[in-house]
A and B are shown apart, each in its own frame.
Chain A
Amino acid sequence: MDQLDKQLMNLLQKGFPISERPFKDVAATLNSTEQEVISRVQAMLDSGLLTRFGPMFDAACWGGDFTLVAMEVPDDRFEAVNEIVNGFEQIAHNYQRTHRLNMWFVIGTETSNEIFEVIKNIEQATGLPVFNMPKEHEFFVGLYLPA
Chain B
Amino acid sequence: MTTNTISALERQYIVLTQGGLPVCAKPYHWVAEQLDMSVDDVLTMTIDLKARGVIRRIAAVPNHYKLGYQFNGMTTWDVCDDRALEFGKKVGDLPFVSHCYLRPRHLPQWNYNLFAMVHGRNEQEIKQYQHQINELLSEVLQTHQGPANDILTSTRILKKTGLRLTSTK
Contacts and interface: CB of A to CB of B under 8 A. Distances in A.
Determine chain B's interface SS by DSSP, over half rule. mixed
Given A99-B152, A133-B106, A134-B104, A63 B4 contact: yes
Interface string A67-82: 0101010000000001
A96 B87 CA distance: 28
B131 interface: no
B76 to A, nearest CB: 9
Interface in A34-61: 34-35, 38, 41-42, 44-45, 48-61
A108 to B, nearest CB: 4
Nearest to A92: B163
A21 B26 contact: yes
B21 interface: yes
A14 B28 CA distance: 19
Interface in B118-169: 119, 150, 152-163, 165-166, 169
Interface residues of A, number: 77
Contact of B4 (A19, A61, A101): A61
A101 B101 contact: no
Contacts of B166: 110
A60 B60 CA distance: 21
Interface in B1-48: 1, 4-6, 11, 14, 17-21, 23-29, 39, 43, 46-47
A112 to B, nearest CB: 11
B159 A93 contact: yes
Given A57-B18, A58-B54, A137 B60 contact: no
Which 9 residue pairs of A and B lie closest in terms of their CB atoms, listed nearest first?
A: A139-B92, A140-B92, A143-B98, A12-B60, A94-B158, A54-B20, A94-B159, A108-B163, A139-B100
Interface of B: 1, 4-6, 11, 14, 17-21, 23-29, 39, 43, 46-47, 49-50, 52-64, 66-67, 69, 74, 84-85, 88-89, 91-93, 95, 97-104, 106, 109-110, 119, 150, 152-163, 165-166, 169
Given A9-B62, A139-B101, 11 more contacts: A53-B23, A55-B57, A58-B53, A60-B4, A61-B52, A62-B54, A92-B162, A105-B159, A137-B85, A137-B101, A147-B67
